[in-house]
């Protein structure tokens, strides 16, 4: 509520510019890796009442964030071919 119009516009652009490239479907939660010109990000979704996806976390507030945003999963996500080192061959 306290953000100015230009700050809101920058935030909207940062979200809109993200392109999904990998999804972990964990039944109750979907973890989506996205790419933007700035970085690789992680977004979390759950099913709404009509089964539409609802964005459930737009900040860094849970310990589980580190599972997807640090370490082996994140390292695999930022490779030239994402998750290629984890592919079952």
* Domain positions in the chain: 5-86
Band the pLDDT of 16: cuts 50, 70, 90: confident
Instruction: Label residues 27-40 b or e (16+ Cβ within 10 Å = b).
Output: eeebbbbbbeeeeb
- Residue 52: how many CA atoms within 13 Å on its side-chain side? 3
Among 39, 21, 43, residue whose Cα is nearest residue 30? 43
Higher pLDDT, 8 or 87: 8
Task: Tell me what the mean pLDDT of segment 42-66 comes to.
Answer: 80
Backbone angles phi, psi at 58, to 5 degrees: -110, 15
Averaged pLDDT, 37-59: 83
**Res. 34: pLDDT tops 90:** yes
User: Measured between alpha carbons, how far is 8 from 1 in angstroms, rounded to an integer?
Assistant: 9
Total-model pTM: 0.76
């Amino acid at each position: 509520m306290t953000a100015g119009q230009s700050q809101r516009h920058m935030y909207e652009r940062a979200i809109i510019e993200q392109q999904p490239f990998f999804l972990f479907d964990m039944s109750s939660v979907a973890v989506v890796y996205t790419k933007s010109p700035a970085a690789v990000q992680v977004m979390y979704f759950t099913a709404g009442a009509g089964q539409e996806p609802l964005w459930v976390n737009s900040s860094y507030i849970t310990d589980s964030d580190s599972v997807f945003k640090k370490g082996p999963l994140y390292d695999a996500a930022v490779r030239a071919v994402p998750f290629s080192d984890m592919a079952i061959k």
